[in-house]
């Protein structure tokens, strides 16, 4: 009976539900079955059925929920369930997670897996996995890989109409993208936009084609249309950095400075070493403050931390419009030595903020005027008013506080 239960457990694990049912029925006739196994089988069957039914009507949230439930019930190495999960994630615009789900499927122990004749809506499971792979690859811009995956599906399941239709669409989209790229390289931006648009007829939710067409609109000075295409690309793939950058650039041309600053702030966090993004953010912040009638004379890009040696110098800086961060330090204090590089880094990361440094050994009068007895001490001023004071903060607290006021000052 132990061997029978082990065999049944493996069938569950691989998601071979029909085989598991036949095996259980045989074991029950031989009085070697366990009621708990029967309940487990029914549970997996129920969730798998609900997931496939939800797929038929395009209810992708339910399809994902039920596939996850079936996997949790024991079928965690089912090729069908993982492919269902990946397709649902793709339709829900969670592209990276869809991709990682398929990658985990490919990493399963091949010696334990055997493709079966099981079908999903008339499509062989092996073919279905390749079809999902093709669509995920296409959404992530891997067009050649998408065509190859769809062709593999056709070889496995040559008579299936759905496989043939998807293969045809994948080929047409890949061809449109290639044509658009060639036209773009030739500076034929209007023709390139039409080519990318042809591809979108067959795959309306392809973020790469939307982003590529946005690049065409940018070159044609049609920045509103560029924003529209970037919005669509980001709706489908919210983490699409290239689309976010193109939208920020378009907002700049349209002088929509608040939107522009918001996008560049996100890009700054994602690309902290990109000096071009940092500079673009700075100029957008200056433009936004200018439209609000704020004084921007003290704003500088990428400057070093300014050394303060007098009370007058400190007051002149902290009472000016904008945000100033004052760092009280000592050149012999170990904690100051450790945190100073982070202060220099923050100065570069937040170019719209004014960073000041007071060496309490060289300028004791300034330290006394500010009642600073312990170093490192940080004080943040906004429009002349002190809004934050931190004594010996951790690096995490310092970064969080500085970035908080950097955003709120935009």
How far is Cα 375 from Cα 379, in angstroms, rounded to an integer? Answer: 12
220 shares a domain with 369: no
339 shares a domain with 263: no
| pLDDT tens by residue, 180-239 | 999 999 999 999 999 999 999 999 999 999 999 999 999 999 999 999 999 999 999 999
Of the residues 261, 291, 321, which one is the last residue of a structural domain? 291
29 pLDDT above the threshold of 50 = no
| pLDDT tens by residue, 277-324 | 888 988 898 899 899 887 776 666 655 688 999 999 999 888 877 789
Taking the CA atoms of the chain, what radius of gyration do you get in angstroms? 30
Q: Is residue 301 part of a domain?
A: no
Q: Is residue 235 part of a domain?
A: yes
**H helix intervals, 30-94:** 35-56, 60-72, 79-91
Parent domain of 271: 205-291
| pLDDT tens by residue, 49-74 | 899 899 999 999 999 999 999 888 87
Mean of pLDDT over the chain:
85
| pLDDT tens by residue, 238-272 | 999 999 999 999 999 999 999 999 999 899 888 87
316 shares a domain with 283: no
407 pLDDT above the threshold of 80 = no
164 shares a domain with 27: yes
284 shares a domain with 382: no
83 shares a domain with 48: yes
Q: Which CATH number fits the domain that encloses residue 328?
A: 3.40.30.10
More confident position, 367 or 34: 367
Q: Is residue 181 part of a domain?
A: no
Q: Supply the pLDDT for residue 34.
A: 54
**Count of structural domains, the chain:** 3
32 pLDDT above the threshold of 80 = no
In the chain, what percentage of residues exceed pLDDT 90?
60
- 8 Å CB contact between 354 and 296: no
399 shares a domain with 322: yes
318 shares a domain with 257: no
232 shares a domain with 96: no
152 shares a domain with 52: yes
Q: Is residue 176 part of a domain?
A: no
Q: How confident is the model at residue 13 (pLDDT cuts 50, 70, 90)?
A: very low
239 shares a domain with 315: no
Q: Which CATH number fits the domain that encloses residue 134?
A: 1.25.40.10
- 8 Å CB contact between 202 and 232: no
């Amino acid at each position: 009976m132990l061997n029978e239960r082990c065999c049944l457990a493996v069938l569950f694990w691989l998601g071979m539900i029909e085989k598991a049912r036949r095996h259980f029925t045989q074991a029950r006739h031989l009085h070697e079955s366990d009621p708990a196994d029967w309940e487990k089988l029914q549970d997996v069957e129920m969730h798998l059925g609900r997931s496939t039914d939800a797929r038929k009507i395009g209810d992708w949230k339910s399809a994902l929920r039920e596939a996850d439930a079936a996997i949790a019930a024991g079928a965690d190495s089912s090729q069908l369930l993982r492919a269902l999960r990946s397709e649902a994630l793709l339709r829900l615009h969670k592209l990276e997670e869809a991709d990682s789900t398929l990658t985990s499927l490919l990493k399963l122990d091949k010696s334990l897996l055997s493709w079966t004749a099981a079908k999903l809506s008339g499509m062989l499971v092996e073919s279905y996995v390749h079809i999902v792979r093709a669509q995920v690859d296409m959404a992530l811009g891997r067009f050649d890989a998408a065509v190859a995956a769809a062709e593999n599906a056709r070889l496995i399941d040559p008579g299936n109409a759905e496989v043939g239709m998807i293969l045809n669409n994948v080929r047409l989209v890949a061809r449109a993208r290639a044509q658009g790229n060639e036209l773009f390289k030739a500076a034929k931006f209007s023709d390139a936009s039409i080519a990318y648009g042809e591809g979108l007829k067959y795959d309306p939710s392809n973020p790469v084609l939307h982003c590529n067409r946005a690049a065409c609109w940018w070159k044609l000075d049609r920045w509103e249309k560029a924003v529209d295409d970037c919005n669509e690309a980001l709706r489908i793939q919210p983490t699409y950095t290239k689309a976010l950058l193109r939208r920020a650039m378009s907002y700049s041309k349209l002088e929509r400075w608040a939107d522009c600053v918001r996008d560049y702030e996100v890009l700054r966090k994602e690309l902290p070493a990109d000096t071009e993004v940092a500079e673009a953010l700075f100029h957008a912040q200056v433009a936004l403050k200018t439209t609000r009638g704020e004084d921007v004379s003290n704003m500088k890009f990428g400057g070093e931390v300014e050394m303060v040696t007098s009370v007058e110098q400190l007051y002149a800086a902290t009472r000016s419009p904008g945000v100033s961060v004052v760092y009280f330090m000592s050149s012999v204090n170990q904690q100051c030595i450790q945190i100073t590089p982070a202060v220099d880094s923050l100065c570069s990361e937040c170019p719209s903020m004014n960073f000041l440094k007071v060496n309490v050994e060289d300028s004791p009068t300034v330290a006394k005027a500010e009642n600073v007895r312990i170093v490192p001490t940080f004080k943040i001023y906004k429009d002349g008013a002190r809004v934050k004071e931190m004594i010996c903060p951790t690096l995490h607290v310092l970064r969080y506080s500085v970035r908080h006021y950097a955003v709120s000052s935009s």
